[in-house]
């Protein structure tokens, strides 16, 4: 078990008084203890979140998760819209810069639904793979690109997106 600074200093003082340490050794050991404590205090004061992440890093991670959550809609219907909205709703007070990411993601999902409907109609008249393959690639690639940009702290506006929410 680690002893407190006061206990360590008291032990040094006792060793000095008993003659086991010279004045010079006492001063050196005392300074070393004080420097270690200052270093630990400084490390504790920079701790700003779970895992030692700063507020800005946490914000970037939530923005990244918000973009990646769009992919949930490919597994669970409507999850691609509701999950990003829930993330934004729960974290908007703590991370106000999530708002722009949320609007971009919401605009993309709405645009994606419009493109999906257009693709279904077009697929009736032309080869389905000419519509399905590019749409599928873009539907996965854009949220991933948005997440990578968010991880760097950048706000990325999805290409081919209509601005429904500003």
* Spatial distance between the Cα atoms of 119 and 6, rounded to a whole number of angstroms: 73
Which pLDDT score, from 0 to 100, does residue 47 have?
A: 43
CB contact at 8 A, 3 and 14: no
* Spatial distance between the Cα atoms of 83 and 26, rounded to a whole number of angstroms: 61
Half-sphere exposure of 41 (CA within 13 A, CB side): 8
CB contact at 8 A, 158 and 84: no
> pLDDT tens across 35-86, in order?
876 555 444 444 444 455 788 899 999 999 999 999 998 899 888 889 999 9
CB contact at 8 A, 53 and 31: no
Helix-helix angle 79-91:55-68, to 10 degrees = 160
pTM of the full predicted structure?
Answer: 0.64
DSSP assignment letter at 158: P
* Spatial distance between the Cα atoms of 146 and 151, rounded to a whole number of angstroms: 9
Which pLDDT score, from 0 to 100, does residue 119 have?
A: 85
CB contact at 8 A, 73 and 139: no
> pLDDT tens across 85-133, in order?
999 999 989 999 899 999 999 999 999 889 888 888 888 887 777 778 8
**Domain spans, the chain:** 5-46, 53-151
């Amino acid at each position: 078990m680690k002893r407190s600074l006061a206990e360590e200093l008291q032990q040094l003082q006792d060793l000095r008084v008993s003659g086991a340490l010279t004045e010079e050794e006492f001063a050196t050991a005392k300074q070393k203890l004080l420097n270690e404590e200052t270093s630990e205090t400084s490390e504790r004061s920079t701790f700003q979140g779970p895992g030692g992440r700063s507020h800005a890093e946490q914000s970037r991670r939530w923005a990244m998760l918000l973009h990646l959550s769009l992919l949930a809609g490919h597994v669970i219907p409507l999850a691609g819209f509701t999950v990003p909205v829930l993330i934004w709703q729960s974290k908007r007070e703590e991370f106000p810069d999530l708002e722009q990411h949320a609007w971009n993601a919401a605009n993309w999902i709405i645009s994606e639904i419009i493109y999906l409907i257009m693709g279904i109609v077009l697929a009736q008249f032309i080869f389905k793979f000419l519509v399905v393959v590019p749409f599928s690639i873009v539907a996965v690639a854009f949220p991933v690109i948005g997440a990578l940009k968010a991880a760097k702290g950048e706000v990325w506006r999805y290409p081919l997106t209509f601005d429904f929410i500003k």
